[in-house]
Structure 1
Amino acid sequence: MSAGIKDTSTQTRTDVTAKRRRNFPSSLLFPAFIPLLLYFLYLLSSPPDFDTSMLLPRPDAPKNALIVTAHPDDEAMFFSPTILALTRNGWNVSGLCLSNGNAEGLGDQREKELYASYNLLGVPSSNVEIINDPALQDGMQRAWMPSDAGKYVYRRLDIEPFSVVIKFDKYGISGHINHRAASLACSPVNWPFLITTRKVKVWAVRTPSLLEKYMGPLPAIYHLVHTRIADTEKGREVLRLLRLDRKEGAWRKVEVINGLERWWTGIEAMREHKTQLVWFRWIWLGVGSLQWTNTLIEAW
């Protein structure tokens, strides 16, 4: 009888111990993450500014950049980290929007929204040009000829001393056919003379993977942590061992990161596009990684 009681008691103690072990991690999970969360907020509160002069084709080139987009709201949804980095570092930034977004008959209103958005990003309305060409109308079924769009890019480059052009990459971030055509419009095939005489440098905003696109600030935090680790020799060795070191490829690339203040400015810029604030764009504002970071790839 006593042996049976002893066995029951032992089993009870074992069950209690196992239960405590199961509950131990969950009880401390949130407090354990608080220092990590605070560190991430610290990184995002004051990320280092990258040297914007590295975007120039030559050191003495004027700091004048042209942002080429397809529709009103592209500048706020996809390009805000780059635009804010340039305007906050004294660049003269201009915008060329290849349509007025008239797919739903709201072109006039969307033009006003674009000017207001660019103003918040540090670009005056006088620097923003909106094209309203029958051959370049907004729509997923409205294919653009790159040459039709390219002539407007060429014209702008021909009359103003831009050193840098920033555009979509060939995937257009969202895959929109107008975005892809806007990218092709920036091919130097359309303006080889300017490339050879003025050395205009063209950079493209890289299209993230589907997962990365909706990871919010995590890609930005990864780049900030990676940069801090890579600042030391031991850190670089660890990154090499983990195969996380950034190897030089055929094309140069630059990470541009919004801190908390600039991220919010980008959100405010997007909120100026009141006609476009449907539910899925609110989701984008919450989880879109391009509100936090742009990877610029040297295109030409």
Structure 2
Amino acid sequence: MAIPGTPIYLQRLDLKPKNSKKTFNITFVTAHPDDETMFFAPAILALKDVPNVSISLVCFSTGDSQGLGRIRKTELTKVVSKLGISPSNLIIIDDPAFPDDIKKTWDPVLMAKALEAIIVASETDMLAIFTFDNQGISGHPNHISLYIGIKFMIQTSQTFKFKPVELYTLNSLSLVRKYLFFLDSIFSLGDFYRKSDSVLFVNGLEKYKLSCKTMDVHETQLVWYRKLYVTFSRYMFINSFDRVK
């Protein structure tokens, strides 16, 4: 079981590029500004300290469901630096085809076209994409669309037959485990050792505090129930991923 204050980074990624002059590019693909903090902060904060790893963030919308897209875009721009991501490695896809809408799914073909151009531009010899799984953690159709669209891109694009990409998806868990905070680490460690293609990140106390401070930058989203989420959610403390084969 993880003890707060003791960071754990367990992974089965070979983060050693064949050419030492190049980097291993890890791209986090999210649906809305704040996803990167609410769901992926432990992984981002762990990977940013790994030599020869470059972290990118692609966000498919500005989160404009309440007309706050411009402000949320600015908030996200401020957040990436706090998470250790270079602002030049942030891409926000602001396209009407990908609306922030809890009732709409996104076209996987259009998503594949939009994302492929970004991924192909990566000047690395190794690449991994981290995103949501087929349940989207919260069941949000935009989150689930990312899983479908990215999987479609990797499976159908001729480009990725010559430029291999590994896809890792964030585990959606039961409501009880979702709010066990660091206590879920005992179950997460069990899952990690049981699965051969899993990746696990557990924040130490300092990085958990940093995650919380980062969420404070998303001022437009700090309604009462999100404050409760930040306090109790295991995703602010633990990230577990499965590799999609």
Q: How many residues were matched structurally?
A: 237
Distance 1:130 1:137 in 2: 13
Matched, 1:191 2:153: no
Which residue in 2 is equivalent to 1:89?
50
Which residue in 2 is equivalent to 1:169?
133
Two-structure CA RMSD over aligned residues (Å): 2.2
Contact 1:94/1:128 (<8 A) preserved: yes
- Decide whether aligned partners of structure 1 residues 253 and 192 sit closer, same or farther in structure 2, where only a CA change above 3 A counts: farther
- Decide whether aligned partners of structure 1 residues 158 and 59 sit closer, same or farther in structure 2, where only a CA change above 3 A counts: closer
Which residue in 2 is equivalent to 1:265?
210
Partner letter of residue 266 of structure 1?
Answer: S
Structure 1 residue 221: deviation in Å?
5.0
Measured against aligned partners, the alpha-carbon deviations of 1:18-72 in whole angstroms (never above 9, x if no partner) come to xxxxxxxxxxxxxxxxxxxxxx8x8221233335xx3248763732111100000
- Decide whether aligned partners of structure 1 residues 284 and 245 sit closer, same or farther in structure 2, where only a CA change above 3 A counts: closer
Greater C-alpha Rg? 1
Greater shift after overlay, 114-123 or 155-164? 155-164
Distance 1:248 1:100 in 2: 35
Which residue in 1 is equivalent to 2:4?
44
As a proportion of its length, which structure holds more helix? Answer: 1
Which residue in 2 is equivalent to 1:64?
25
- Decide whether aligned partners of structure 1 residues 207 and 248 sit closer, same or farther in structure 2, where only a CA change above 3 A counts: closer
Structure 1 residue 262: deviation in Å?
0.9
Structure 1 residue 200: deviation in Å?
1.3
Distance 2:101 2:231 in 1: 25
Contact 2:41/2:236 (<8 A) preserved: yes
Partner letter of residue 13 of structure 2?
Answer: L
Matched, 1:275 2:210: no
Contact 1:263/1:292 (<8 A) preserved: yes
Specify the SS of the correspondent of 1:144.
coil
Matched, 1:294 2:217: no
As a proportion of its length, which structure holds more strand? Answer: 2
Partner letter of residue 281 of structure 1?
Answer: R
Distance 2:141 2:192 in 1: 34
Where relative contact order (Cα < 8 A, 6+ residues apart) is larger, the structure is 2
Which residue in 2 is equivalent to 1:240?
none
Contact 1:254/1:297 (<8 A) preserved: yes
Specify the SS of the correspondent of 1:212.
helix
Contact 2:192/2:200 (<8 A) preserved: no
- Decide whether aligned partners of structure 1 residues 65 and 73 sit closer, same or farther in structure 2, where only a CA change above 3 A counts: same
Structure 1 residue 193: deviation in Å?
2.6
Identity of aligned residues (%): 31
Contact 1:253/1:297 (<8 A) preserved: yes
TM-score under structure 1 length normalisation:
0.73
Contact 2:9/2:200 (<8 A) preserved: no
Partner letter of residue 69 of structure 1?
Answer: T
Which residue in 2 is equivalent to 1:219?
184
Specify the SS of the correspondent of 1:174.
helix
Distance 1:245 1:140 in 2: 31
- Decide whether aligned partners of structure 1 residues 82 and 248 sit closer, same or farther in structure 2, where only a CA change above 3 A counts: closer
Partner letter of residue 212 of structure 1?
Answer: R
Partner letter of residue 35 of structure 2?
Answer: D
Contact 1:203/1:298 (<8 A) preserved: yes
**What pairs up with 1:131-142 in 2 under 5 angstroms?**
131-142=93-104
Distance 1:101 1:63 in 2: 29
Specify the SS of the correspondent of 1:122.
coil
Structure 1 residue 266: deviation in Å?
1.0
- Decide whether aligned partners of structure 1 residues 56 and 170 sit closer, same or farther in structure 2, where only a CA change above 3 A counts: farther
